[in-house]
Amino acid sequence: MSLSASLSNAVSGLHAVSRAAELVSANVSNAMTESYGRRELSLSAATIGGRGAGVQVSGVERIVNQAAIADRRLAQAELSYHTAHSEVLSGVEQVVGTPGDAASLSAFTDKFEQSLIIASADPSSGANLNAVVNSAIDLTTKINEISDRLHVEREAADQSIDTQVLQLNTALSDVDRLNKEIRLQMNSGGDPSGLLDQRQALIDGISELVPVQTVDRDFGQVALVTPNGTTLVDSQAASFTFNPTSKITADMSLSSGALSGLQIAGASSVSGTSIEAIAGGSLAAAFELRDQSIPLMQANLDALSRNLIERAADADDTLLAGEVGLFSDAGGAFDPLLEEGLSSRLSVNNSYVAAHGGDPTKLRDGLNSLSPGPASENAMLNAHVQAFSEARLPVSGQYSSAESLSGLVGDFLSKVSQGRQQSEQRQSYEATRVQVFRDVEQAGGVDTDQEMQKLLLIERNYAANAKVIQAVDEMLQSLLRI
């Protein structure tokens, strides 16, 4: 071997170990970086004319556990879905209140029923009759408050859809752009590892909105496919369209066309409906909350409000058909065809409210009584007590069985609480799955101890190659001195 060949071999070795040291430093500095794939140098023997010519850097391998990443992304989508549900249901539950809470719906219901019992025991007391009216006002105000919260949450879900669609469109476009840049890098013999890190971070973000799986394509590119087979990125990025609604009322729905659905354009393939294409993830959760969960709670609250109106009307035998008793629909008669949103309009009939010119003694005598009855007469008050304590099944909504007013309120709260508890249980379960898969993923990531061991080996190899160069230099100097 000539001295020039020896020098060339040593220089190639210095280049290789220098590149290896660069990768070790990058691995160590990014040991805590999310979506970073550990780099390893790929080396091969260099040959010229069939003879060894040192070492050459074949490329840089990015080491990641694709199976763990895929599982973690699907679990992350489920976690986002149940987190969105639990947050909304928890907020609604706080407004409804739990038994024992003085500001809960149950507490206001109990207060109203107790005031009726006290008034029936002493019907001559104006203070007792006023207390019934005031507790009825407190009860309707609480129901109005819950209904308002449901409206707010539904509008928030609609706005969340709009925000997430914008995020999703941007991320899909960025993945498509990175696919093209990675292809160019690989075609030109460059190192696309940094671009692969960026793309992994983007896809991780997408998986929180919509569950996606990656399918490898040529030259490092990937396609993004949802679990139902809809392709969101493959040679081009799909685009989602959604039109937000600033003000949502109880009667507005997706099926009626009053609320916007989701449209997909530019997808390589679409399987099922657009909603089915995004099933799972926080975007699907926002649609489910807006179009199903919250409307169901609203319908149950409206049914409870209707039940209040009907019980009060049945208790007063002086009322004509269609007339309202203690509870009313915004001060007027209730129309069964306009039940949607009733809970936001529920109020106490002003005919009983002294502050509005009404007379609380109408509770004792009957709303349409022509003259005041005996002050000791409690038949009408007893009828009210009986009406609110007897078991009745609401004619609408989803209630388990016929119950008293307190029982129906408890049933309503139970459904909200059960939904919240189920969402939190699934949230906890999916959070554990995400962490398990992340641990598996990180097990193949950067181990700083191993990287330090590599660095010691690199240092020795560098010194050895440098020693060869030094020896060749001394040989050349000896030749020059002859």
Cα 23 to Cα 198, 201, 443, 458: the distances in Å are: 17, 20, 19, 11
Quote the CA–CA distance of 441 and 348 in Å, as a whole number: 61
Quote the CA–CA distance of 448 and 461 in Å, as a whole number: 20
Quote the CA–CA distance of 116 and 123 in Å, as a whole number: 10
Quote the CA–CA distance of 21 and 456 in Å, as a whole number: 10
What pLDDT digit, counting tens, does each position of 106-131 carry?
999 999 999 999 999 999 999 999 99
| Residue 455, amino acid | L
| Residue 43, amino acid | L
Q: What is the pLDDT of residue 360?
A: 93
In b/e form, how buried is each residue of 422-452, taking b as 16+ CB within 10 angstroms?
A: ebbebbeebbebbeebbeebeeebbbeeebe
Select from 312, 314, 309 the least CA-distant residue to 329: 309
Q: What is the pLDDT of residue 270?
A: 77
Q: What is the pLDDT of residue 244?
A: 94
Q: Strand, coil or helix: what is 60?
A: strand
Spell out the residues 6+ positions from residue 51 whose beta carbon is closer than 8 angstroms to its own: none
Burial of 356 (0-12, 13-18, 19+ CB in 10 A): exposed
Q: What is the pLDDT of residue 7?
A: 79
Quote the CA–CA distance of 203 and 200 in Å, as a whole number: 5
Strands (E), 92-250: 213-216, 222-225, 231-233, 239-241
Cα 305 to Cα 115, 415, 436: the distances in Å are: 19, 16, 47
In b/e form, how buried is each residue of 111-127, taking b as 16+ CB within 10 angstroms?
A: bbbebbbbbbeebeeee
Q: What is the pLDDT of residue 281?
A: 92
Other C-beta atoms closer than 10 Å to the C-beta of 482 total 4
Beta strand 239-241 with 327-329 is unpaired
Quote the CA–CA distance of 176 and 117 in Å, as a whole number: 70
Q: What is the pLDDT of residue 50?
A: 66
Q: What is the pLDDT of residue 1?
A: 52
Token representation of residue 14: 């210095």
Token representation of residue 322: 């269609």
Where are the alpha helices (H) located in 247-293, listed in sequence order? 274-277, 281-288
Which 8-state DSSP code applies to residue 31? T
Cα 382 to Cα 129, 404, 458: the distances in Å are: 13, 15, 93
Quote the CA–CA distance of 17 and 15 in Å, as a whole number: 6
Q: What is the pLDDT of residue 274?
A: 86
Quote the CA–CA distance of 289 and 389 in Å, as a whole number: 33
Mean pLDDT by 10 residues, the chain (482 residues): 76 82 82 79 75 75 84 94 94 91 93 95 92 96 96 96 96 95 89 90 94 92 91 92 92 91 86 85 95 95 96 91 90 91 95 91 88 84 94 90 93 92 94 90 79 85 83 81 78
Quote the CA–CA distance of 373 and 192 in Å, as a whole number: 91
Quote the CA–CA distance of 226 and 74 in Å, as a whole number: 10
Give pTM, 2 decimals: 0.87
Q: What is the pLDDT of residue 479?
A: 81
Cα 325 to Cα 256, 318, 332, 384: the distances in Å are: 33, 10, 10, 10
CA 188 to centroid of chain Cα atoms: 42
